[in-house]
Copies of this chain bind each other. A is one copy, B any other.
Amino acid sequence: MTMTTEIKTKKDVVTEFRTSGILEAARKVFAKKGFHEATVDDIAEAAGVAKGTVYLYYESKRDVYFAALKFGIGQMYSLLLDELHKATTPEEKLKALIAAKLAYFDENRDFFKIYYSELGNIPTAHPAGIDNEFQALYQEQARLVEAILKEGARKKAIRSLRTEQTAFAISDIIRGVGTHRILGWSKSKISQDVDFIFDLVWKGIAAQ
């Protein structure tokens, strides 16, 4: 009973080591080649294990893919929450969120590519539901923005507008600037891009 929560057996350690190694390799390979072009052999090679080993820890190529994706999303999400808690006003929060997201993308370019490029591109899973799960994860991100907007509207810092749509629009801008950066089209510093987005958005949504 306590064992399952407290004690790491040797097996646990090995499993953790392998899964994280494979996940890291998968992230890189998928980012570089995309889901379909990446082969399990590629991932195995990048992780320094044999193909069979991948299947000891993951059921399928798809499974690896989603595990890598979820890991990244979870990591980013908790980072975003951390940053949001440091800020107080809606204005600060919005700026913090933009900054944190851009920074995360910048540091995890391979994740960015998987997250957005392949998003919505994976064939519908046979038993259905994976697409929905995907969309849910995606919407969750936008909902962080929406919460800020609602708070801002309550405090009269933001004019009244369709918060859900606006939240998506803001997320889309962040995505777009992120793409710009990743593709190497933008030579600006992150902080400049953050200021730019915030400026544009804030003028668009501020009260009065």
Residues of A within 8 A of B (CB): 33-37, 117-118, 120-121, 123, 135, 161-162, 165-166, 168-169, 171-173, 175-177, 180, 183, 186, 193, 196-197, 199-201, 203-205
Contacts and interface: CB of A to CB of B under 8 A. Distances in A.
A194 to B, nearest CB: 12
Given A203-B204, A205-B200, A172 B161 contact: no
22 contacts: A33-B123, A34-B121, A36-B36, A118-B121, A161-B196, A161-B199, A165-B180, A165-B193, A168-B180, A169-B173, A169-B176, A169-B177, A169-B197, A169-B200, A172-B172, A172-B175, A172-B177, A175-B176, A201-B204, A203-B204, A203-B205, A204-B205
A168 B162 contact: no
B186 A165 contact: yes
Residue in A196, A199, A203 with the greatest tally of chain B CB atoms within 10 Å: A203
